[in-house]
Amino acid sequence: MKEELEKILAQREKQYIIDPKRVPAAVLVPLYQKDGQYHIIFIKRTEKVKDHKGQISFPGGARDKDDRTLLHTAVRESREEIGLQTEDIEVIGELDDELTTTTNYTVTPFVAVIPWPYRFRENSDEVAGIIEVPIAALLKNGRVNENGETLNGKPIESYTYDYQGNVIWGATARIVKKLLDIIGGINREKSNIRRPERNL
């Protein structure tokens, strides 16, 4: 899947959001292969952080003045939060920018592949736990959030993913949905290639 996903991300036209009133931020979407399945790493934030207390998210955060690019932000935050080292991160593309609705961030997601197994080091001030979720489980358990979300007073698409009691919602869930739409397309294409032709 890695090669197909990297190719699609390179070919698609990324949707940027430019809003000087918002704080630029970046997250890493770390993928790894375990027991023949791809998984995604999420983190549960502590109650000590400034924003998004107790929420499930990707490693990442606001851009610092010393970050040369938003990719540097995502990599730096991943190192600080879960001990993911720069040399172990293989970035394979970007997803569309997302806006947070409860805070004032524009989030740029970078999709990356990491080795497995990995010895993470959690920053106890920021990370309450690391959550490993099989992509197959996310493909099965996603649903439209009936309560919805609003942005600038207008309703927006909203999704929820529940994995073993860990509820993923908000901008993180919208990022997940966009990634899963791409992966679902790859899976359907593979299924069509493998389907034997029938004689009529």
Give the pLDDT of residue 198.
Answer: 45
Residue segments in the chain with a per-residue pLDDT below the cut of 70: 52, 146, 191-200
Which phi-psi region, left, alpha or beta, contains residue 83 (left: φ > 0; alpha: ψ -120 to 50)?
left
Q: What is the C-alpha separation between 197 and 98, in angstroms, rounded?
A: 41
Which pLDDT value is given to residue 78? 98
CA gap 148, 115 in Å, rounded: 36
Domain presence at residue 125: yes
Query: Does residue 171 lie within any of the structural domains?
Result: no
pLDDT of res. 191: 66
Residue 120 lies in domain:
2-135
| Rounded alpha-carbon distances, angstroms, from residue 161 to 9, 18, 135 | 23, 28, 11
Residue 80 lies in a domain: yes
**With contact defined as beta carbons under 8 Å apart, do 135 and 38 qualify?**
yes
Give the CATH number, domain containing residue 117.
Answer: 3.90.79.10
Query: Is 130 part of any domain?
Result: yes
CA atoms within 13 A of residue 152's CA, in its CB half-sphere: 3
- Is 53 inside any structural domain? yes
Bridge partners of 27, per DSSP, are: 60, 109
Q: What pLDDT is attached to residue 200?
A: 38
Query: Peptide bond preceding 117: is omega within 30 degrees of 0, i.e. cis?
Result: yes
Q: Are 158 and 171 in contact (CB under 8 A)?
A: no
Tell me whether residue 167 is in a domain: no
Residue 92 covered by a domain: yes
Number of domains in the chain: 1
* Inside any domain, residue 183: no
| Axis crossing angle, helix 2-11 with helix 170-194, rounded to the nearest 10 | 110
- pLDDT value of residue 147: 73
Nearest to 23 by CA among 62, 66, 70, 75: 62
